[in-house]
Structure 1
Amino acid sequence: MKLLTIIGARPQFIKASVVSKAIAEQVDLSEIIIHTGQHFDANMSDIFFDQLGIPRPNYLLDIHGGSHGEMTGRMLSEIERVMIKEKPDRVLVYGDTNSTLAGALAAAKLHIPVAHIEAGLRSFNMRMPEEINRILTDQVSDLLFCPTQAAIDNLAREGFSDKPVQVLNVGDVMQDSALFFAQRATAPQGFDLSDGFILTTLHRAENTDDLARLEAIVGALNTIHATVAHVVLPLHPRTKAAIAKAGLILNVHVIEPVGYLEMIWLLQRCALVLTDSGGVQKEAFFFGKACVTMRDQTEWVELVDVGANKLVGADQANIVATVGRLYGQKVEDQHQLYGGGQAAERIAKYLSSK
């Protein structure tokens, strides 16, 4: 079976790192990789291929910037060209980015079966571009690899039980990656803080593109840094530009974007995670750290249910108070929420059996 894998953003590189390894172990599977270029900064893209041993992409489309519609449209056109040339038996897409949706739509229009890894997730917030991407991708996929029972339940409520598709709970490939690479974690270059810092990420459009939310979050980060513990923020290029445009002053410990192995190192040593990312919420859990999420909803509802994750939106006072309350708390995976680190193997074996 000839698989065509489409990736373009940091979380997808991490997921593909373990799935591509598992695919390579199946003698009846071959893989071609398209990198759309959605993340084009070297520290957000190239470094992941270097660190994680992902096979270099067969195609690099170099498509980034512009509006969501422009980016997705350009990807759709270029991915279609590759599909027509390569004639894959199946297309493999990850997560909920514009690259995901473009790849799934291009395949569906060419009547190529689509497998969606991380299917069934829902935040129930249609203002999030990621929510639109994941819903539409699920609708045109025939093979839905779900990371959790909650994802299975979401698809059942949407009527997928009555559709000619396969819905499987395989576990979360992000846990596979975290466990596999934990022993190879390395410190960011020049990092000199002791353990006990608060690891922060900030990049969601709902926060960076809304001035009121961005001001509140920056204010909260500054207060936490001054009163609770050092806030360490690997600053996303897009967020850096948004903060500068808004004229805000960020008084925290800012570092350059880090690779996955450095991110694991930071997760192992921090005392709390403060984020608006989807994947980082889980990564905090994998390493036993409490997480405070600066969003109004999350697709990882099971983490909220077990008390490992607290949603605080962009309310400055709530962010500061919750961080102060949870700082230093440990969490345990008592329910094997994400499959125990065998998801990639399950996915590859299932693809091989088709």
Structure 2
Amino acid sequence: MKIFLIAGARPNFMKIAPMARAFDPHHDLDYKIVHTGQHYDHNMSDVFFQELGIRKPDYHLGAGGGSHAQQTAKIMIGFEEICTQERPDLVIVVGDVNSTLACSIVAKKMNIQVAHVEAGLRSFDLGMPEEINRMVTDAISDIFFVTEDKGLENLLNEGKDKNTIHFVGHVMIDNLFYQLEKLEIMGREGFIGNEFKQEHPAYGVVTLHRPSNVDDQATLVSIMETLSTVAETLPLIFPIHPRTRKNMESWNIVPSENIRLVDPLSYMAFLNLWKDARMVLTDSGGLQEETTALGIPCLTIRENTERPITVTEGTNALMGVSRQKILDSFERIMNNDWKIGQRPRFWDGRASERIADIIQRISNDR
């Protein structure tokens, strides 16, 4: 079986890497890695792929930036060309980025089967571009790999055949465990943020990038004021997204001296930082899951989440942008009164092996 593994940005590679490693022993699963180039990232060097334990992409579409429509169109045009050349049997897309949507549409129109990893996740917030990508991709996919019970429930409610849905666990957690092992045997002296970590026995980590939080001046001012209050007790380190930095500079928002701003970090440097944090404050999706996997308190600065298991079973809680909620939750964490949580079912580092076994069975039945 000829397979295309699709990645559009650095976080996508964290999801396809464990699948690539799991496919390697299955010699009749002939996979190629397609990087759409949705996001340019200078950290994606040879060392990056060595750390992931995978080869560099076989194809790079170089789609680049632009509006959602421009980016999606460029990816579709480039992907159609290589599908015409190669005629893969299966296209595997991950997550909810524009590349996920674009490559799914192209594949289906060429009668190529599509498998969606992290299928069925829903925030039910159509103001989020990612939600539209998730919904459309699931509407046309043939095979669904699910990370949590709610994903299974959502797909069944949407009329999907239960025989096409596979509860396998989470490939992002597979990669987390793999990278943690790598981290233990490598030197960390050159990592940005390591000096901050050594200076502060207890600290928190912040990430903010969602337009609803960082593109509205009043909202961003309020969030930063709340973070400054937190930082009076617990120093914070903030790898800042370029979009967030630009807006802070435009609106002259100056963070507290107890909040250390640093440039975006490589995956390993960031993992080295947040894995030992007292708490994480974020509006990211993946970080909600990774903190749950390691049992680290996470305050999500959003009104909703497409990953509800991190709230119901894990260490995550939704804060919205409420100053009072954040400060009350922070106090509980500092008083060791936060929920312990548990690692969800199948978040055991073997999701990719399950996916490989299922695809092998599908291939044998063809």
Task: Name the TM-score, length of structure 2 as normaliser.
Answer: 0.90
Partners of 1:307 and 1:178 lie apart in 2 by: 16
The residue type equivalent to 1:232 in the other structure is I
Question: Does the 8 A contact of 1:44 with 1:258 survive in 2?
Answer: no
Partners of 2:113 and 2:229 lie apart in 1 by: 50
Partners of 1:295 and 1:50 lie apart in 2 by: 34
- 1:81-102 deviation digits (Å, cap 9, x = unpaired): 1111111011010000011111
SS of alignment partner, residue 348 of structure 2 = helix
The percentage of aligned residue pairs carrying the same residue is: 38
The equivalent of 1:276 in structure 2 is 283
Residue 172 of structure 1, aligned match among 156, 170, 173: 170
Question: Does the 8 A contact of 2:205 with 2:236 survive in 1?
Answer: yes
Partners of 2:75 and 2:343 lie apart in 1 by: 39
**How far off its partner does 1:338 sit?**
4.1
Partners of 1:321 and 1:333 lie apart in 2 by: 18
**How far off its partner does 1:44 sit?**
6.7
Question: Relative to 1, partners in 2 of residues 1:31 and 1:315: Cα closer, same or farther, differing over 3 Å?
Answer: same
Determine if the alignment matches structure 1 residue 337 to structure 2 residue 345. yes
Determine if the alignment matches structure 1 residue 204 to structure 2 residue 219. no
The equivalent of 1:353 in structure 2 is 361
Residue 189 of structure 1, aligned match among 189, 192, 196: 192
Question: Relative to 1, partners in 2 of residues 1:245 and 1:41: Cα closer, same or farther, differing over 3 Å?
Answer: farther
Question: Does the 8 A contact of 2:46 with 2:56 survive in 1?
Answer: no
1:109-148 residue pairs with structure 2 within 5 A? 109-148=109-148
1:310-325 residue pairs with structure 2 within 5 A? 310-325=317-332
SS of alignment partner, residue 168 of structure 1 = strand
**How far off its partner does 1:195 sit?**
3.2
Partners of 1:43 and 1:195 lie apart in 2 by: 28
Residue 252 of structure 2, aligned match among 219, 226, 247: 247
Partners of 2:45 and 2:251 lie apart in 1 by: 27
Question: Relative to 1, partners in 2 of residues 1:331 and 1:175: Cα closer, same or farther, differing over 3 Å?
Answer: farther
Partners of 2:244 and 2:77 lie apart in 1 by: 28
Question: Which has the larger displacement, 14-23 or 323-332?
Answer: 323-332
Determine if the alignment matches structure 1 residue 150 to structure 2 residue 155. no
**How far off its partner does 1:333 sit?**
5.3
Partners of 2:44 and 2:348 lie apart in 1 by: 27
Please list every run of 5 or more consecutive structure 1 residues that lacks an aligned counterpart in the other structure: none
Question: Does the 8 A contact of 1:119 with 1:151 survive in 2?
Answer: yes
Question: Relative to 1, partners in 2 of residues 1:45 and 1:291: Cα closer, same or farther, differing over 3 Å?
Answer: farther
The residue type equivalent to 1:230 in the other structure is P
Question: Relative to 1, partners in 2 of residues 1:34 and 1:246: Cα closer, same or farther, differing over 3 Å?
Answer: farther
- 1:230-271 deviation digits (Å, cap 9, x = unpaired): 111111223222322333223311122222222222222110
**How far off its partner does 1:306 sit?**
2.9
The residue type equivalent to 1:281 in the other structure is Q
Off by >4 Å, runs of 4+ in structure 1 = 44-47, 328-333
**How far off its partner does 1:161 sit?**
3.5
The residue type equivalent to 2:274 in the other structure is L
The residue type equivalent to 1:236 in the other structure is H
The equivalent of 1:214 in structure 2 is 220
**How far off its partner does 1:339 sit?**
3.2
Question: Which has the larger displacement, 43-52 or 143-152?
Answer: 43-52
The equivalent of 1:267 in structure 2 is 274
Question: Does the 8 A contact of 2:169 with 2:346 survive in 1?
Answer: yes
The residue type equivalent to 1:312 in the other structure is M
Question: Relative to 1, partners in 2 of residues 1:184 and 1:16: Cα closer, same or farther, differing over 3 Å?
Answer: same
Question: Which has the larger displacement, 239-248 or 129-138?
Answer: 239-248
Partners of 1:64 and 1:213 lie apart in 2 by: 29
The equivalent of 1:49 in structure 2 is 49
Question: Which has the larger displacement, 336-345 or 272-281?
Answer: 336-345
SS of alignment partner, residue 145 of structure 1 = strand
How many residues of Structure 1 are paired with residues of Structure 2 in the alignment?
351
Please list every run of 5 or more consecutive structure 2 residues that lacks an aligned counterpart in the other structure: none
Determine if the alignment matches structure 1 residue 72 to structure 2 residue 72. yes
Question: Does the 8 A contact of 2:36 with 2:63 survive in 1?
Answer: yes
Partners of 1:46 and 1:221 lie apart in 2 by: 36
The equivalent of 1:85 in structure 2 is 85
SS of alignment partner, residue 192 of structure 1 = helix
Partners of 2:135 and 2:21 lie apart in 1 by: 27
